[in-house]
Amino acid sequence: MNYLTTVTGNRIRVLISAFVLLLSSFSIFAEQDSSVPVEVVTAHYSEYAKAVRISGLLENKSEQSLGFKISGLVSRVYVDEGQFVKKGQLLAVLDLEEIDAEVSKAKSVLANAERNLKRFQSLQGKNALSMDQVQSSQTRVDVASSDLTVAQFNRRHAVIKAPEAGRILNRALEPNELVQAGQTVFVFAPKKSGWVLRTGIIDKDIVRTQLGDKAELYFDAYPNQQFQATVSEVAGRADPKTQTFEIELRLENTAKGKNKKNLLAGFVGHGRVYPRQKESLALLPLTALLRANGKHAEVYILDEHDQAHLRLIEVAFIEGSRMAVRAGIQEGDRIVIQGAPYLSEGRSVAVQ
């Protein structure tokens, strides 16, 4: 009887121990289940500036309108639209028959005036002519000389030559056409002037943009090719029609040889300008954002015990899938980026 009692007592103690162990396991599991799984990122402040997005048209930095000094018939045209030319290359010439006749006439008039002046000067010494007559003869020589200078000047400008190496953008004349003095017959772009992209930006961006800011550009014609550029001009006033401020981006030297790209005026370009004016900001994924009201928003941060705490932050701007935080968090804070909607103040979390 004592033996049975002893055995039964031992079994009861074993069962009680097992039950206590099972309850402890359930307690541990329950405690683990109460922790919300989250993902976090560590906040880090760095100098940053929001890029200015732009789009515009590619243009030659300089374009010149070329024409004849005088009216006349076009004799020959030596170049076509789009053609590259060298400095001093002949582009077009007028019919020179009438112009050469004007030069010959001016030379003859000058020669005759000079002969008369010499004769009058020789007679003056014999008191045959008055001083006024000699001076009038000298005036006729001066006028004839000026007329010859004008005729020769017009003769030189009866032809059009390339002022420097470049490209013919537009040709607006054909042989045997009558052109007027000063009429634009060629539009010419010097090669050394380079390429620029002009675009308009709003007032919030113009105050952050300075001469010398770097930019990255892409063109639809070369979607996978990146072009480096620099802000070369910044407008001092807004366009009255668009209320935007024009800036000019000058493309840096394009690749040479096999990698050289054939750029043409009118290409559609887009890209980003990176202002040099920066501020200390922390970039966080937008998934960390819980609620927002204007420039302020709420996120959850974790303390050293992995407990969540709601924090009000100041958002500088949103760019793509990230937000830039100006204030409200400290360097090294752990910010919840996944699972925030399921948290509450002081809730324990399980960091994944």
**pLDDT over threshold 60, residue 250:** yes
- Edge to edge, what strands does the sheet with 72-77 contain? 159-161, 90-94, 72-77, 178-179
**pLDDT over threshold 80, residue 77:** yes
pLDDT at 141: 82
**pLDDT over threshold 80, residue 328:** yes
Between 247 and 117, the more confident residue is 247
**pLDDT over threshold 50, residue 232:** yes
Percent of the chain, pLDDT > 90? 34
Average pLDDT over residues 280-303: 89
**pLDDT over threshold 70, residue 1:** no
CATH 2.40.50.100 applies to domain 52-61+194-274: no
pLDDT at 29: 40
| Most confident of the following: 99-103, 245-249, 262-266, 313-317 | 245-249
Mean pLDDT computed over every residue of the chain = 83
Rounded alpha-carbon distances, angstroms, from residue 17 to 20, 113, 161, 315? 5, 140, 108, 57
**Whole-angstrom Cα distance, residue 300 to residue 310?**
5
The CATH 2.40.30.170 portion of the chain extends over 52-61+194-274
pLDDT in tens, 80-99: 998 999 999 999 999 888 88
pLDDT at 199: 92
State the fold for domain 97-157. Answer: Helix Hairpins (1.10.287)
The CATH 1.10.287.470 portion of the chain extends over 97-157
The CATH 2.40.420.20 portion of the chain extends over 36-49+278-351
**pLDDT over threshold 90, residue 227:** yes
Average pLDDT over residues 94-116: 86
Taking the C-alpha atoms of 124, 127, 128 and 134 in order, what is their torsion angle to the nearest 10 degrees? Answer: 30
Of 322, 328, 325, nearest to 282 by C-alpha is: 325
Q: Where are the alpha helices (DSSP H) in 89-246?
A: 97-124, 131-156, 203-206
At 54, is the pLDDT very low, low, confident or very high (cuts 50, 70, 90)?
very high
pLDDT in tens, 112-162: 888 877 877 776 666 656 666 777 778 888 888 888 888 888 888 888 999
pLDDT at 23: 45
Between 339 and 273, the more confident residue is 273
pLDDT at 254: 60
| Most confident of the following: 16-20, 260-264, 329-333 | 329-333
pLDDT in tens, 158-205: 889 999 999 999 999 999 999 998 899 999 999 888 899 999 999 989
Instruction: Tell me the helices (H) and strands (E) count for the chain, helix number first.
Output: 4, 23
Listed range (20-29, 40-49, 229-238) with the worst mean pLDDT: 20-29
> Which one-letter amino acid corresponds to residue 293?
N
At 27, is the pLDDT very low, low, confident or very high (cuts 50, 70, 90)?
very low
Tokens of 208: 């952050």
CATH second-level architecture of 66-94+163-191?
Answer: Beta Barrel (2.40)
Do residues 136 and 58 lie in contact, with contact meaning Cβ atoms separated by under 8 Å? no
Query: If you classify domain 36-49+278-351 with CATH, what class do you get?
Result: mainly beta
| C-beta neighbour count of 133 within 10 angstroms | 13
